[in-house]
Every structure is written in C-alpha cells, then in structure tokens.
Amino acid sequence: MINLPTMRSMWPIFGVCCGALMLSGCFGSKPQVQSLPPAQTAPVRVAALPPPPDEQPAPISDEPLPDAEPAPAATVPAESTALEIGRTDMLGGWALASGGETCQLFMSLTTWTGGYRASTRGCNNPQLSGISAWDLNGKTVTLKGGEGAVPVASVVATSPQNFNGATAQGAAVTVSR
C-alpha cells in the first residue's frame, strides 16, 4: 500500500514553495521602463494682483441688512464674437461656476435625450446638479437637465478653454478648464 502524505504535512512544503516564488521575483532582473513624451500644457498667464484693501472690517450689528437690489440678469455673449468650436472640443472634465459655486462638469459624446450625455459632481445648486445632457447649436453650447429636455444654461466660447453665458434663471455661468 502506498503511503500518501496528509494535507497537514503538505503545508510546510507549500509555504516554502510560495516563499521561493516571491523571492525569485525580488532578485530577478529589473523591468525596462520606457518614458513617455511630455504632455503639452497651456501657457501660464502671469498678472499682478491688486493690492489688498486697507479697510477695517465693519462692526457686527444686530440690525437687519437693507434689502439688496437683485443682480442684473446675465446674458449669453453674442454668438458673433464667440469662437468656432466642435463637439470634440467639449469632451472631458470642466469646472462649472455659477452664483458663487464651483463644481465639476463632465461631457461625453454618448448620445442622450436632448443631445449628448453630461453629468456634474459636487454641485449644490439643484439646477446645476441636474445637468444630464448637452448640445451644440452653432457656436452655443446648451446644458440641459430633466433627462435632456430642460435648458439649464447656455454658454459660448470666449477662449478655447473658457465658455461664458447664463443659466435659464439669468445667473452668470462659466465653464472652464
């Protein structure tokens, strides 16, 4: 009769084999790493900042603040002065700013109701967080919510990396990289 080893007696052999395999990877030849060409970057703009204000902070008061006049409604810059753009210029991640809030906007060429798929991340404004689609009509990019049916904002290119316009409620909006 042949005497087969039990599983319990095989564990030390298994451990030695695994250890040898791990060590053989540590002392083998080093892999060859190929460097990639550097990525192109946009030129850096340099501008002087204005001097800080010399004003002292106003004292805190319990009196209610006077009603402020509403801000004038923002308008989409004239399409005639906007840069010519294509759908592929809009792809990828963007910073979306409106009403003192900045969040992320992502646009793809996946077809979607109302145009192409879009989504936002980190937006507190319900209209901005509801953006689900975008479309390009001439030089105007329309951001849409409500499953791609409701216009949320319209912007035009003022530079290749900067789009300005207004929300449907009339607030200024900027899309930039």
* Pair of tokens at residue 152: 């949320």
Express as a percent the part of the chain with pLDDT over 90. 40
CATH number of the structural domain 79-176: 2.40.128.10
pTM: predicted TM-score of the whole model, two decimal places: 0.57
What is each CA distance from 129 to 106, 123, 134, 152, 156, in whole angstroms?
Answer: 12, 5, 13, 10, 20
Encode burial over 86-101: b for 16+ CB neighbours within 10 A, e otherwise: eeebbeeebebbbeee
| Average pLDDT of the segment spanning 9-37 | 63
Q: Where are the domains of the chain?
A: 79-176
In the predicted structure, residue 72 carries a pLDDT above the cut 70: no
Integer Cα distance of 9 and 14 in angstroms? 10
101 DSSP assignment: E
Q: What is the DSSP string of 108-175?
A: EEEEETTEEEEEEES--SHHHHT--EEEEETTEEEEEETTTTEEEEEEEEEETTEEEEEETTS-EEEE
- Residue 120 vs residue 46, higher pLDDT: 120
pLDDT in tens, 141-154: 999 998 777 899 99
Express as a percent the part of the chain with pLDDT over 70. 58
User: Using a CB cutoff of 8 Å and minimum separation of 24, what contacts does 32-37 make?
Assistant: none
* Pair of tokens at residue 101: 């809030």
pLDDT in tens, 34-71: 666 766 666 666 777 677 666 555 555 555 545 544 44
